[in-house]
Amino acid sequence: MTNTTNPTIELENQYGAKNYAPMPVVLTKGQGVYVWDDAGNRYLDMMSAYSAVSHGHCHPTLVKVLQQQAERLTIVSRSFYTDQLGPFLKKACELTGFERALPMNTGAEAVETALKAARKWAYTVKGVPHDQAEIIACKGNFHGRTITIIGLSTEPQYQAGFGPFPPGLKTIPYGEPAELEKAITKNTAAFLVEPLKGEGGIILPPDGYLKECAAICKKHNVLLICDEIQTGLGRTGKLLAFQHEDMKPDAIVLGKALGGGLIPVSLFLTSKEVMDVFTPGDHGSTFGGNPLAASVASAALDVLIEEKLIEKAASMGDYFLKSLKNIHSPIIKEVRGKGLLIGVEVKEGYSARDICLKLLVHGILCKETHRTVMRFAPPLMVTKEQIDTAVNALKQVFEEMEKQPAALK
């Protein structure tokens, strides 16, 4: 394991912003579910870059597509048509069941796009008075870090020092449809929600939550937008996490895994009625929809289906969850998740980050969220043997900690 005297770490600390607190390891190479550090040590990646590497590191098919397209045409801006974007958008729409798609780069950009579309739809279609549109999201959400999006956050650190925030933003408790109905007014444009919370601590809503929310939104002519940036594209054992319920939202946002772990790609997908509120000049992106990104994302969708990664996420997710629940340790408070998006919450007084640091010594990469939850989200082709390796390492760490009461924080 790399230590903090590593010159590469020192360079980043000296010249970089202090907006991250990375684990003390310098990664230099990746392949499949594994990464290697600058000392040649191999680690099992249980993070997948927050689901961005769902296809595994440096997937050979995707790398080949990237190389071939990079030799032909990379960026020309949306001022011109290219031979890659149209086929990619068609594939994405047909696969997800939406009529229109608007490409961007990052997940936060896709969320901003969704919010802009919802507001303009509210004014031009629903008839909300000018500048009165409201957006509702859930407490404990994570939709990104732009000024508008953190205006919907209830995490104090995300907002501290960054106000003022745009008006018309509301938050309600997660998993409580009655609270949604109470919050809706005649000016409500959209309800933005995660099918299950990722950064918020791997929190699952009650069964039927999304279906009930969809009915409420339809009743009040409010757009239901599902943030599938982390949960979509197979992560939870379905193509899209909302498909675990008998419902369909009005729109979704995709990102992370859409770029195949190689390049930032995101999409806002919705109906013709909503997307057609945009006219030339209303919205755009220099890099969004570029041919390099479109070619890689199109191939990433193909690989997802052809290699049955969604089905693997479902079966391996069940196996991983059962294996973690079979760890009998007084340190564990709860194990929860869906597919290969799993959280292990430790009891008050224990530090999830400290446990992640101990796992690093055992060759397992994972990351805490909300101080008490360890997130396990490996690439979707992870095997039972690799899962066993991670579970056994966690067992060993817990056993070591149980023998040392001073490990309590």
Q: For residue 302, indicate whether it is catalytic.
A: no
With contact defined as beta carbons under 8 Å apart, do 224 and 325 qualify? no
The single residue of 88, 98, 142, 278 carrying the catalytic annotation is 142
Beta pairing partners, 100: 270
**Tokens matching residue 238:** 């379905």
Nearest Cα to Cα of residue 196 among 158, 236, 225, 223: 236
**Tokens matching residue 3:** 């230590």
Q: For residue 37, indicate whether it is catalytic.
A: no
Element of type H or E holding 31:
strand 27-31
CA gap 112, 147 in Å, rounded: 10
Nearest Cα to Cα of residue 337 among 308, 378, 388: 378
**Tokens matching residue 1:** 């394991």
CA gap 44, 77 in Å, rounded: 38
The strand order across the sheet containing 367-369 reads 332-338, 341-346, 373-376, 367-369
With contact defined as beta carbons under 8 Å apart, do 48 and 230 qualify? no
Amino acid at 10: E
Q: For residue 256, indicate whether it is catalytic.
A: yes
CA gap 316, 393 in Å, rounded: 18
The single residue of 91, 120, 238, 256 carrying the catalytic annotation is 256
CA distances from 360 to 83, 120, 365, 393, 403 (A): 44, 47, 6, 10, 19
Beta pairing partners, 227: 253
Torsion of CA 119, 121, 127, 131, to 10 degrees: 20
Give the burial string for 117-148 (b: 16+ CB within 10 Å, else e).
bbbbbbbeebebeeeebbbbbbebbbbbeeeb
With contact defined as beta carbons under 8 Å apart, do 380 and 309 qualify? yes
DSSP states of 281-342? TSS--SSTT-HHHHHHHHHHHHHHHHTTHHHHHHHHHHHHHHHHHT---TTEEEEEEETTEE
Nearest Cα to Cα of residue 115 among 37, 28, 223, 43: 223
The single residue of 37, 45, 227, 250 carrying the catalytic annotation is 227
As annotated, the active-site residues are 142, 227, 256
